[in-house]
């Protein structure tokens, strides 16, 4: 069983070492200016019944007892009405038009409301780490969907750079000459131009 980890600068000034399990939750620094997002959560699945108890177990001592959670059902196949967590029950609701589909809203009796970016479970560790850092940067004010779109842009750009780098290596190792020779040599016969044997042969 892997424990959910949290890095909260006000609570702990050291960052997890490279040997630590993957970071699944990161919160904005305490006392930072109000932002659209209070942190980022990277659940392992889209099963709220399975994922919420570990999240609430970490947040209850920090934020007061979490009593309600709302989601946009776009990315959650099942939205249970109640989820039993450690010692109490969290009521779960949903809003389609009113709530960003990449956001989880949490309410506490005693303290108030928090909004977490929900990083899609299948996200790579590198992209998830970038999203967590960006989501908890007090100087930025992007919506949850804006953060996801920005991450997708960076991922696509990185893949394009990688493809371009592979192409340069290929060309530097003689691949360009092979391509040029092939393009000026005898034309390759396409499958639709292969002569068919005459009937009866």
Give the pLDDT score at 39: 93
Distance CA 59, CA 27 (A): 10
Q: Which residue has the tokens 């392992």?
A: 44
Nearest CA to 115 out of 133, 135, 91 is that of: 135
Can you tell me the mean pLDDT for 82-104? Answer: 95
* Model confidence at 199: pLDDT above 70: no
Distance CA 74, CA 102 (A): 9
| Per-residue confidence band for 19, with pLDDT thresholds at 50, 70 and 90 | very low
Angle at 58 between CA 56 and CA 61, to 5 degrees: 95
Rg (CA), the chain: 25
| Per-residue confidence band for 201, with pLDDT thresholds at 50, 70 and 90 | very low
Global pTM exceeds 0.95: no
Angle at 104 between CA 98 and CA 108, to 5 degrees: 100
* Model confidence at 142: pLDDT above 60: yes
């Amino acid at each position: 069983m892997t424990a959910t980890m949290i890095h909260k600068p006000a609570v702990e000034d050291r960052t997890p070492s490279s040997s630590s399990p993957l970071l699944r939750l990161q919160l904005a620094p305490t006392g930072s200016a109000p932002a659209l997002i209070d942190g980022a959560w990277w659940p392992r699945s889209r099963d709220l019944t399975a994922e919420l108890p570990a999240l609430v177990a970490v947040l209850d001592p920090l934020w007061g007892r979490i009593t309600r959670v709302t989601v946009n059902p776009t990315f959650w196949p099942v939205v249970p009405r109640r989820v039993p967590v450690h010692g109490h029950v969290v009521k779960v609701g949903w809003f389609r038009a009113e709530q960003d589909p990449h956001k989880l809203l949490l309410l506490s009796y005693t303290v108030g409301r928090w909004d977490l970016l929900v990083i899609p479970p299948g996200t790579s560790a590198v992209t998830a780490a970038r999203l967590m850092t960006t989501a908890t940067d007090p100087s930025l004010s992007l919506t949850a969907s804006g953060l996801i779109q920005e991450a997708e842009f960076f991922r696509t750009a990185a893949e394009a750079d990688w493809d371009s780098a592979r192409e340069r290596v290929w060309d530097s190792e003689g691949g360009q000459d092979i391509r040029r020779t092939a393009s000026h040599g005898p034309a390759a016969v396409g499958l639709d131009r292969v002569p068919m044997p005459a009937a009866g042969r």
